[in-house]
Structure 1
Amino acid sequence: MVRFKNRWLLVEFMPVADANSPSSPPLDGQKIFSALRQSVLTNFGDVGWGSVGMSLNVKYYSPMTHVCIIRVGREHHKIAWGAVTLLTTIEGRRYIPNVVHLSGTIKHTQLAAIAHNREVVARFRAQAKTASAYQDSYDAKLQEISAEIEALQD
């Protein structure tokens, strides 16, 4: 029996601040999946969607750090990566997708996500001009997000 092999994409969706766009509801995994599906269909057609449609899955999204973990079949991960890169709007709001990490196992993706979340929290602290050793609500949230990521199963 042959095992189905996956690739795991760690993507950061950075929102673009636009004064003209109205406040939209927060982003979630289902909205990302719908936008990703539409991007595959638009850019790669039915053949592209047929290639990745059965294996494409959004496993995790953090609204605080805007980090998303996407699973796709190993053979066609470049189609999913291209669709993510070509994605510009989700639910009418503009985002800049940044593929942070690509891995063959969820464990390495989890480790990369936790490390990336630490970097995001460091950016938040730098914007707030607080010391890196300062204890605040980010520490508790970072531990909560790390626990959620570590609980993900293949």
Structure 2
Amino acid sequence: MVRLKNRYLLLDILYPDSTTWPSSKTGFSGPHAAQLAIHAPTSDALTPGLLAKMIREEVGEMYGDWGVGKLGGASAMGVQVKYLSPATSTAIIRCPRASFRLVWSALTYMSHVPAVTEPGTGAGQRRPNGGRERPCVFRVLRVSGTMRKAEEEAIRRARREIVRVRGVEEKGVLGDLISGVERGKAVVTSVMDVSEDEDEGMFDDDD
């Protein structure tokens, strides 16, 4: 029995165009606003089936019938989106091992996703077919031979982003504390004196 070998591409969707970032009214404010805006959620209009179709069409446009054939044909399931999270703009795509570079290159040249925007917001670009598309960048983070490895990498990167955002928040809080110290050194000095007195009672003299 022949075993079909696949590759799993972990990717995220970035929005570097600041004109399409959500406004501060939606909660994107503070020192980490730009970081969160670049990793903003994707519209629910982007479904796994639509993303797979977009990849196949891009491969066909770049490599013609030869590229589509390498994926198994236009109607085949050579490219499958195994995981798609609009909230985190993360996806895992499965494709044949022999043609994962075609999929990777197609993702590199894909520059838009469907966008559902409120009237008057200006986000997205109106297309001739009447729909809206939001400029974006597809970034491949990892190519793995198993689904589990791709999932572990996605979890690791999500944790790292959370730590990074929290670090920015803590840095901003510390900056406020430092400025407060400079504005009220007398108050801080008195607090430190009280703290030293309390610390003296925390240790026993018996050795």
TM-score interval, normalised by the smaller of the two chains:
0.7 to 0.9
1:63 alignment counterpart: 86
1:48 alignment counterpart: 67
Instruction: Output aligned runs, 1:1-154, within 5 Å.
Output: 1-17=1-17, 19=19, 25-26=43-44, 27-53=46-72, 54=76, 55-91=78-114, 92-126=133-167, 129-130=169-170
In the comparison of the two structures, how many residue pairs are matched?
129
* Cα shift at 1:20: 6.8
Residues 62 and 20 of structure 1, relative CA distance in 2, 3 Å threshold: closer
**Mapped partners of 1:62, 1:97: distance in 2:** 14
SS at match of 1:33: helix
Whether contact under 8 Å (1:101, 1:112) holds in the other structure is: yes
**Mapped partners of 2:141, 2:56: distance in 1:** 20
TM-score (norm 1): 0.72
Task: Say which structure, 1 or 2, has more relative contact order (CA 8 Å, 6+ apart).
Answer: 1
What are the superposed Cα offsets for residues 90-125 of structure 1, whole Å, 9 maximum, x if unpaired? 231111111100011111111111111212333443
**Mapped partners of 1:20, 1:109: distance in 2:** 29
Q: Which amino acid aligns with 2:14?
A: M
Q: CA RMSD in A?
A: 2.4
What are the superposed Cα offsets for residues 64-94 of structure 1, whole Å, 9 maximum, x if unpaired? 2211100000111111111111111123111
Whether contact under 8 Å (1:35, 1:90) holds in the other structure is: no
Moved beyond 4 Å, runs of 4+: none
**Mapped partners of 2:163, 2:142: distance in 1:** 19
Q: Which has the higher strand share?
A: 1
Q: Give the greater-gyration-radius structure (CA).
A: 2
SS at match of 1:69: strand
